[in-house]
Amino acid sequence: MNILREKQFDAIIVGGGGAGLRASLELSSSGYHVAVVSKVFPTRSHTVAAQGGINAALGNVEGEDDWRWHMYDTTLGSDFLGDQDAIEYMCKHAPDTVLELEKMGMPFSRDENGKIYQRAFGGQTRHYGKEFSVHRTCAASDRTGHAMLHTLYQQNIRAKTQFLTEWYAIDLVKSESGKVCGVIAIEMKTGDLYFLNAKVTVLATGGAGKIFKSTTNAYTCTGDGLGMVYRAGLPLQDMEMWQFHPTGIANVGVLISEGARGEGGYLTNSEGERFMQRYAPQYKDLACRDVVSRCSAIEIREGRGCGPNKDYVLLNISHLGEEIILKRLPGITDLARTFAGVDPLKEPIPVVPTCHYMMGGIPTNPQAQVIDVQKGKDQVVPGLYAAGECASVSVHGANRLGANSLLDIVVFGRAAGKHIKGLLDNGYEQETVDQGALNRSMSRYQRWMDNKAGPSYSELRLRLQNLMQKDFGVFRTKEAMQEGLDGLIAIRHEMQNATISDHSKAFNTALIEALELDNMIEVAYATALGALHREESRGAHSRIDFPNRDDKHWHAHLITYTDGRVAKRAVNMKPHEMDPIKLKERDK
């Protein structure tokens, strides 16, 4: 048995991506004892791969923009499943947050006035849907996530933030009263186990796209925070809402930014038709991602796909010319050459809808406090916060607008930091934890170390990914999803006996992958529960058997628990500074 060591903190932040680093920056300058716990060196977090930009109503191009218009677009984009108080908070704070990043040194591209360069992106309008193709997306070439993550890391160096780099958080530790008191974590280099005893724990663990076989997500996007929350008996929200990005490189899954269409690129089918003009005459190729992905999927399904197997569509940018492409889209030009073997200066890029983003997650309020629901009422979980892709505030609802994710992570990472500072300033006390709680939180580590005969973790992981890809893709039906859920329950059962063959201590990556797989299965299970339950089509959740949005029955969040319970939770329709945006059909 591994001896349990202990470290004490005022706050720990699990995850070193944009949300985690923005939260830590807020706290490390305040004099509190804070640490970022990250399973990878922080600049390897998946924020680094974001390309296109970050939305803020700065109006650098049109001269006038308004956060309320941004809010309108975000709400419609969410297919009305986004919480309007949270969306309001995000859009209103977007300009300040972006200007703050610029002042930290983020190398934004510039316009001819020397201001931050802004490009067009999907789903964006002015004057509440009356004027299309607005330039609201602030960009650092097509490497905006890289520029942001490195800037935030650099600022944390300046602020002397403490990092526990290549430490992996296994499970939350709760006191008897239900307060979260930190995590059990493994120092990967030595294999030693620690109780990181913290008054406040922030989950900023990112997405979980690796539950699908084909995804733009990193290997490390395994839903670790979600698994921890589920196992702690807390709910997950809207997990059926997975965004399929219209332009993942066919057969590889690597992302080609929406910025390619923002700069003037367009999609064509095998007949050379710009098919988005037919489906969405106003937005065209800059319709919301759920819409474009469905249209591409329909084109492919109806036989108008390209290539020998007619299984992809084409993204054309060559008409933009070499100068624009190399200036504005150099990163995706490299990716297309490396992964698709095509030169986008001359030829179109083969693309397909590819799993990209998890709109659902750990329910929180706009202060990033984690929410449990008791007897139909929201209850704050003491000591626990969540921000970024792992959280469901919910600003993205059923479909996220492009360039709202980089915004989400910095706005709510900052909000978490500020709220925690207020809490600690008022003398927030830690509760005691008994040995039983610690043992419970170490139990799955022990299971992997003890299991000697059973299926290998890698075999079960592949089965899980294939199942999710087959049964929970762009279009869904009850039959396929029921079969999928049954399969998931079987895999979950087999996991109890699953094995790794490496039981050594030093940097045991098989153990880490196995622990990640525990989390992936919980995320997949939550996805299946929500998707089967929601009998309508809304945003990214498209059911062939229920093709329409049904506000009367389903204008509600769905929360699910690890024991299979499913419940509805009201969508917030009460912004503070403007009239609520009323339910209506989305514009095309």
Residues near another protein, by CB under 8 A:
40-41, 43-46, 48-49, 99, 102-105, 107-116, 140, 143, 146-147, 150-151, 154-155, 157-158, 189, 218-220, 252, 254-255, 331, 334-335, 338-339, 456-458, 461-462, 500-502, 504-510
In the complex with another protein, the residue whose CB is nearer, 157 or 578, is: 157
Is 289 catalytic? The answer is yes
Is residue 231 helix, strand or coil? helix
Instruction: Pick the closest to residue 414 from 191, 152, 206, 180 (CA basis).
Output: 152
To which H or E segment does residue 522 belong? helix 509-533
DSSP structural state of residue 319? G
At its nearest, how many Å lie between another protein and the CB of residue 459?
8
Which residue in this structure is represented by tokens 């029955």?
553
Q: Which is nearer to another protein, 255 or 320 (CB)?
A: 255
Backbone angles phi, psi at 551, to 5 degrees: -65, -30
Which of the following is catalytic: 126, 136, 231, 289?
289
Nearest to another protein of 78, 216 (CB atom): 216
The residue type found at 176 is E
Which residue is it, tokens 């990112």? 206
By beta-carbon proximity to another protein, the closer residue of 462 and 570 is 462
Buried b (16+ CB within 10 A) or exposed e, 365-378: bbbbbbbbbeeeee
Nearer to another protein, 158 or 274 (CB): 158
Distance CA(417)–CA(26), nearest Å, equals: 5
Kindly write down the DSSP assignment for every residue of 537-584, as one continuous string.
-BTTBEESSS-S--HHHH-SEEEE-TTS-EEEEPPP---SSSPPPPP-
> Considering the complex, what minimum distance in angstroms separates the CB of residue 150 from another protein?
7
- Phi, psi at 306, each rounded to 5°: -105, 170
From the number of C-beta atoms within 10 Å of its C-beta (0-12, 13-18, 19+), residue 153 rates as: buried
Do the Cβ atoms of 535 and 568 come closer than 8 Å? Answer: no
Question: How far apart are CB 355 and another protein at their closest, in Å?
Answer: 14
Q: State which residue, 146 or 543, has the beta carbon closest to another protein.
A: 146
Q: Give the number of other Cβ atoms within 10 Å of residue 560's Cβ.
A: 24
Closer residue to another protein in complex, CB, 504/548 = 504
DSSP-based three-state secondary structure for 58: coil
In the complex with another protein, the residue whose CB is nearer, 303 or 453, is 453
In whole angstroms, give the CA distance from residue 286 to residue 273.
16
Q: What does the alpha-carbon distance between residue 587 and residue 134 come to, in Å, rounded to a whole number?
A: 15
Contacts of 246 (CB under 8 A, 6+ apart): 258, 267, 289, 292, 293, 296, 351, 353
Q: Which conformational region is residue 540 in: left (phi greater than 0), alpha (psi within -120 to 50 degrees), or beta?
A: alpha
Write down the least CB distance from residue 216 to another protein, Å: 8
Minimum separation from the CB atom of position 378 to another protein (A): 35
Minimum CB–partner distance for residue 131 and another protein (Å): 24
**Which residue number, 100 or 587, has a Cβ lying nearer to another protein?**
100
**Torsion over CA: 377, 378, 380, 381 (sign):** positive
Q: Provide, rounded to whole angstroms, the least separation between the CB of residue 90 and another protein.
A: 20
Q: How far is the CB of 425 from another protein (least distance, A)?
A: 25
Instruction: Specify the length of the chain in residues.
Output: 588
Considering the complex, what minimum distance in angstroms separates the CB of residue 41 from another protein?
7
* Angle between helical axes of 144-158 and 84-104 (0-180°, round to 10): 70
Active site (catalytic) residues: 289
